Amino acid sequence: MDYWKIYDVCLDNTWLKSAVFKYGGHSLFFPMFLQLANLHFFHGSQQFLFFAGLTLLLISVSLLLIPVWRDQTASLTAKIVSTLIVIVGSFWMGRAAITTSGGFNCENSSVMVGATLAFLLLPKMCDDSSRLLSTALILLCAGFVVSFSMAIGLAIWPTLLVLAWCLRLPRHLMVMLAVAGLAAAIIFVLLPPSPPYDLSPLQGIHWRGPSAVYTTIVWLCRLIGSPVSYTVFAWWPDKSFHHLIESSGLALWSGAGGLVLAATAALPQLSQHKIRKSTLQFTGLALVIF
């Protein structure tokens, strides 16, 4: 139903206005041009979006595998296992609802392509070279592509700042990342919502104190643990499936366990200088933080 509303807006507005609007709180600026091209040149056929999304997904997987196989410190077994994790995580059937939805896959894969490119470029900024300026510009462009492909893409900026601190990048480069992240956040807030909703940029943002933080953490844990609960309860009769999913604490507690496990693995790496030497460890840490 979301895409029918998006198409309605796109057919009534110019390309630029359609791309600038926020849809359901998400800025889809960059993937929106694929949606618009699909509407105007391919008669709304979903095949174009499917193959575009699949292409972006394959690019993101390829970019993730570059640091895996370039790592000189990792064993062959570690590289094979890492490759398996990347491929299964990108193409497993739990992701089928995203992979088969062309527009949704374009949005998610645009985020991953930009984020992975940024993770590849950030360690190169440790070296004082003539290419530092061009590397920084490409990294910033990748960050803005991530930020304006889906709302979750704004998480790229705090992620890059944490990684920059781990790499002990110069202070002026960290300031550059902070300013770029602040600029992206300001632009995001100021973007108008899609019609027919006539909301001010800050309307709909509610500060509810500790209860909002608690709810956010609970939903994050349930999101992380949902693959486990869906896998377990998929074998149950259909009548009780949805009730079990909603009432069971399996998703919550397995997600909380996964979050603790990820934090346990990631936090010790933040203060270790050897992360510069291992591109595999750096990429894994970047994905966990992101």
The predicted pLDDT at position 199 comes to 43
Global pTM reads: 0.75
The predicted pLDDT at position 172 comes to 85
Residue 231 tokens, joined: 């896998």
Facing residues of 22 across strands? 27, 193
Lowest mean pLDDT among 127-131, 147-151, 163-167: 127-131
Burial class (CB in 10 A: 0-12, 13-18, 19+), 38: buried
| Residue 233 pLDDT > 70 | no
Average pLDDT over residues 102-124: 85
Q: In whole angstroms, what is the distance from residue 269 CA to residue 279 CA?
A: 13
Q: In whole angstroms, what is the distance from residue 26 CA to residue 11 CA?
A: 19
- Is residue 110 within 8 A of residue 148, CB to CB? The reply is no
Beta-strand (E) ranges in the chain?
22-23, 26-27
Contacts 24+ apart (CB under 8 A), 254-257: 254/224, 254/225, 254/228, 254/229, 255/220, 255/221, 255/222, 255/223, 255/224, 255/225, 255/226, 255/228, 256/221, 256/224, 256/225, 257/225
Q: In whole angstroms, what is the distance from residue 104 CA to residue 52 CA?
A: 11
**pLDDT band, very low/low/confident/very high, at 198 (cuts 50, 70, 90):** very low
User: Of the candidates 153, 169, 150, which has an alpha carbon nearest to the alpha carbon of residue 161?
Assistant: 169
Length reported for the chain: 290
Q: In whole angstroms, what is the distance from residue 134 CA to residue 131 CA?
A: 5
Beta-strand (E) ranges in 105-233?
none
